[in-house]
Structure formats: C-alpha cells, structure tokens
C-alpha cells in the first residue's frame, strides 16, 4: 500500500498537483471515433479500435494518479439506431477487449462494472461482462465502469419503478423518500458522483449521460477526437479541474 501511495504522489508531482487535488470520479463521453477514422479514409470500425487503445492509456493514467472511479460512456441505448454492421463490430470489440483485458485488470487491482440494462446485449458479450465483473469483484483499486447499453433517463425510470415497488410492498414509506433513496437505486449505487465530466471531439452536449450524478461535476470539453485524447489529454483535463473553485452553490469566500 505504501508503495502505491508513493507512486501516486510521484505521478501527481509530474503534473504539478498534490494527490488531494485529483478528482475521485472521472466520467468521459468518448466521442469522435468515427470521424477520426473518416478523416484518415478508414472504415469507422477502425476508429472504434483506435478508441479502445486510447482507453488503455487513460485507465493507466487514472490508476497512477489515484482516481477512484473512471466511467466511460461506451454505447448508449440510442446507439442501437446505428447501422447493424457498426453495431456488430462494436459488440465484437467489447467482447475482444473484455476477454483480453480481464487478467490485466486483476493484476492491476482494477474492478470492472457495467452500467446499463442487460437487454439487447448479445449473449456472448453479456456472459463476458458477467465473468469479468465477477473475476474483478475483489479488486480494491480503480473501479472501471463501462456505460454499455446505457441511458440516464432509463436509469432514472428503472430507479423510480424499483422504489415504487418497495413502497407498494410496504418496505419504504413514500414520505421518507429522499435524494439518497434515489441514488441508492441507480446503476451507480455505491459509487461517488463524478467530479469531472470530459467530452471529446468538441461537442457541447451531455447526451443522456449520468444526468442525476453530474449535478455538481466540472465540465471539460476537449477538441481532440477520442482516439487522440489519450494520456496527455487526461492530464490536461485533470490540471484544469484542479484550477477550478468548486463552490457547490456557496459563496466564494475569497471574494466575500
């Protein structure tokens, strides 16, 4: 443990930050894979493959800096509207990535979780998601959360239904429902809310991503397409985050 802390201090020092300036939870909308490929006259799937390589870079940096949770928006429920060839290629990539990375996640003490509904996922992908989740469940380092077949509105709807069922069963009193009750029924139950939300490719949208959880997250928009963002992009975003004054609705004491 002491060795890991020394590594974290050293990694933070490399970018001029103290460990307590690092966000606990970083959430990323990985945008621009297809445009990255088209710009190079490559099939869109090659952009997604390059995007998977970028994931490895960012996971490594987050782990070294001491980030507790990294959540990646990988495939939304709206993405089922894409061409079937692209969907199939993406599902094959997920299967390939999880199969290839499972042992490395264990070796690096990284816990894997999936956020999103299980329906519509190919059985092979679903089986591998479950296997990797169970195989890394004991890991205590970085949590890598993959938002796969995810929709924030669906997530909130599912939470409301679950709470309503408990009210009907007499397990919860309706007038005792609080914000924490809702949070405990979201896919992210048990995880801290994101401190930093990154979107690549210069897009200025939230795109139905963690709408409840990002209420107080700092937003960072990167111009690079996701395959080009990688380690240096993540470091820039974290440094920008550290410069911000997070007030949570309170007054800035330095200006009071």
Gyration radius of the chain over CA positions:
19
Helices assigned H by DSSP within 43-83: 44-65
Query: Catalytic amino acids?
Result: 31, 79
In three-state secondary structure terms, 15 is: coil
pLDDT value, residue 3: 66
Taking alpha carbons only, the member of 161, 157, 151, 84 closest to residue 117 is 151
Homologous superfamily in CATH for domain 2-241: Decaprenyl diphosphate synthase-like (3.40.1180.10)
Cα–Cα distance measured from residue 99 to residue 127, given in angstroms and rounded to the nearest whole number: 11
Cα–Cα distance measured from residue 103 to residue 135, given in angstroms and rounded to the nearest whole number: 9
Where are any strands of DSSP class E within 54-175? 69-76, 111-115, 143-150
pLDDT in tens, the chain (256 residues): 556 677 899 999 999 999 999 999 999 999 999 999 999 999 999 999 999 999 999 999 999 999 999 999 999 999 999 999 999 999 999 999 999 999 999 999 999 999 999 999 999 999 999 999 999 999 999 999 999 999 999 999 999 999 999 999 999 999 999 999 999 999 999 999 999 999 999 999 999 999 999 999 999 999 999 999 999 999 999 999 999 987 666 656 555 4
**Crossing angle for the helix pair 123-135 and 84-107, to the nearest 10 degrees:** 20
pLDDT value, residue 53: 94
> What is the pairing mode between strands 69-76 and 25-29?
parallel
Cβ–Cβ < 8 Å for 194, 214: yes
Structure tokens at 170: 């007499």
**Residue 12 backbone phi and psi in degrees, to 5:** -65, -40
Cβ–Cβ < 8 Å for 197, 217: yes
* Predicted TM-score (pTM) of this structure: 0.94
Q: Where exactly are the structural domains of the chain?
A: 2-241
What separation in angstroms does the CA of 180 have from each of 94, 189, 193? 32, 10, 12
Cα–Cα distance measured from residue 200 to residue 229, given in angstroms and rounded to the nearest whole number: 7
């Amino acid at each position: 443990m002491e060795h890991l802390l020394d590594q974290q201090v050293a990694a933070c020092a490399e970018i001029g930050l103290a460990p307590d300036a690092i966000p606990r939870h970083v959430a990323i909308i990985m945008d621009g894979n297809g445009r990255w490929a088209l710009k190079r006259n490559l099939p869109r799937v090659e952009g997604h493959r390059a995007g998977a390589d970028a994931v490895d870079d960012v996971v490594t940096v987050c782990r070294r800096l001491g980030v507790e949770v990294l959540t990646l928006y990988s495939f939304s429920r709206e993405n089922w509207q894409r061409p079937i060839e692209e969907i199939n290629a993406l599902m094959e990539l997920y299967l390939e990535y999880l199969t290839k990375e499972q042992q490395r996640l264990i070796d690096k003490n990284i816990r894997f979780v999936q956020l999103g509904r299980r329906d519509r996922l190919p059985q092979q992908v679903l089986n591998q998601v479950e296997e990797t989740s169970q195989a890394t469940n004991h890991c205590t380092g970085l949590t890598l959360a993959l938002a796969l077949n995810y929709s924030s509105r669906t997530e909130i709807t599912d939470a409301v239904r679950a709470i309503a069922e408990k009210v009907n069963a007499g397990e919860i009193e309706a007038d005792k429902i609080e914000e924490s009750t809702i949070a405990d029924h979201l896919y992210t139950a048990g995880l801290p809310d994101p401190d930093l939300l990154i979107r690549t490719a210069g897009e200025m949208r939230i795109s139905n991503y963690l709408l409840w959880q990002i209420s107080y997250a700092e937003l960072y928009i990167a111009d690079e397409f996701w395959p080009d963002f990688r380690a240096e992009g993540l470091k820039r975003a974290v440094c920008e985050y550290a410069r911000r004054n997070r007030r949570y609705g309170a007054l800035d004491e330095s200006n009071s």
